[in-house]
Structure 1
């Protein structure tokens, strides 16, 4: 008798992919916000930085929810039912987890445990590492050769790192 969990069906895989995609989008959005805030950290307060990050991410999630709502209606020719709405909300609220640690770091800066510039920099590192962890977790059971999975994880981390580098270069001009 097989005691292992059965392989997820296609519908579950697609729902999981949607959650992953949204989490990656939010992580990149948060990374961009932290980078922008870092450029002006000396004139920023932890409270305003946290509010900026939260409002921006919330705006992206609301925009994504609206896009999903319209896309669902176009594809299925009707408004989503309760189960589909619940899934759309779950995707968005789950993606909020991507900003939890950066918000906690900014909060710690607000408490005076360290400076806001340090909190923003550490938050950026956390988000780049998060991108790699998301890719690793998502790809661990994919039937690809190990080298290809490692390259995909490295590519996601490289894009996150490139985003940081581009923001730093843009600030020089």
Structure 2
């Protein structure tokens, strides 16, 4: 059973947004880890600003691109769709927010919460890749290659952050 084209398009949009947010959150979390002591509140605030900024940028870019492609303003339904896709991507940072929230109550050190968040985000990237390839009509080894590539890219982000911040 295959999805209708509009369903597939929506799945594509939602996965893309979540991957953007996940990479952004990973970079921000790694940067915070490299800057020494940060409180849980500071980490939550910084992560929230970065994620909201990313979502707004993608939301605005999507609206502008649709206006350019369709040569008209978006209908209410189209606008609601774009907003829903963008807002739905915030779920990609649920675990880091939970980890940092637990840290804010003193259960975990902020550095431990940030480390757990980075690990969770790399795993999320692989999971999003799994969602993308699970029904793809490609050989199993190509599916594995896609998942491996996402995991390696997530680790590459970690490596780049470590290089940048020594």
- TM-score normalised per structure 2: 0.97
Q: Which residue number in structure 2 is paired with residue 3 of structure 1? A: none
Task: Give the corresponding residue for 2:65.
Answer: 71
Runs of 4+ displaced beyond 2 Å: none
Which residue is 2:41 aligned to? Answer: 47
Q: Which residue of 2 aligns with 1:104?
A: 98
For residues 16-52 of structure 1, the C-alpha deviation after alignment (integer angstroms, 9 at most, x for no partner) is 101100100000000011001111241x211111011
Gaps of 5+ in 2: none
User: Which has the larger Rg?
Assistant: 1
When the two structures are aligned, how many residues end up with a matched partner? Answer: 166
Which residue matches 2:28? 33
Distance in 2, matches of 1:60 and 1:114, equals 27
CA distance in 1, matches of 2:147, 2:76: 35
1:10 equivalenced with 2:22 (yes/no): no
1:143 to 134, 137, 146: 137
CA contact (8 A) 1:18 1:91 kept: yes
Unaligned runs of 5+ in 1: 1-5
Work out whether residues 41 and 116 of structure 1, in 8 Å CA contact, stay in contact via their aligned partners in 2: no
- CA RMSD after TM alignment: 0.9
